[in-house]
Amino acid sequence: MWENLFKHVDILPQNVNILDGNAKDLEKECTEYEAKIAAVGGIELFLGGIGPDGHIAFNEPGSSLSSRTRIKTLAYETIIANSRFFDGDVNKVPKLALTVGVGTVMDAREVLIIISGAGKALALAKCIEEGVNHMWTVSAIQLHPRGMIVCDEDATLELHVKTVKYFKSIEKVHSLLTTEGSKVGLDGKVRYSAGSK
């Protein structure tokens, strides 16, 4: 997190709170983490990605959708995926992780999930074309009033064509609405103010 985010943004080190997987009492670490979140008024924006099995944070398939920060046993697929951080050696990958829960994520005021690559296409399809399901924990975002998914073309490979067309049309209309000086009428036609085009 330090290398890829925090050292690149304007944030004081004391305002960065990451779960300490080396803490002596892991359950206490999780409880205190939830308390810190509550003490500052909650999470403003949860930004995260998913695994190929649709897990958010380390909320593996089968996790409770109301779960809080806790110790979680990792799925074998997650261990394999994380071996890239351990020189490809699955034996070096921890088998347990500390994670915010799905309920913790859902309590954030806004949730933004980034999904990229064909390897996560099935998870995206399960997330948005099917109902909320604890086997695809990312699907809980359907219940969030300010949840958003950002994905690349490859991640849409398992979606129905009409689903892709629908979301692309929303993106097009949004782009039109946010173009300076434009207005979209009820007839769907874009009108530009004088001198704005």
> 108-123: per-residue pLDDT in tens?
999 999 999 999 999 9
Helix (H) or strand (E) holding 28: helix 26-39
136 CB neighbour count, 10 Å cutoff: 22
- pLDDT digits 0-9 by tens, 87-99: 999 999 999 999 9
Task: Return the domain boundaries, the chain.
Answer: 6-159, 160-197
Question: d(Cα 103, Cα 134) in Å, to the nearest integer?
Answer: 12
Q: What is the pLDDT of residues 66-86, one digit of tens each?
A: 999 999 999 999 999 999 999
What are residue 104's phi and psi, to 5 degrees?
Answer: -65, -45
Encoded amino acid at 78, one letter: T
Place of tokens 């948005």: 128
- CATH T-level assignment (fold) for domain 6-159: Rossmann fold (3.40.50)
Kindly state the average pLDDT of the residues 140-149: 98
> Nearest CA to 108 among 28, 182, 48, 26?
48
Query: Measured in whole angstroms, how far is the alpha carbon of residue 159 from the centre of its chain?
Result: 18
pLDDT at 92: 96
% of the chain surpassing 90 pLDDT: 78
Q: Which pLDDT value is given to residue 90?
A: 95
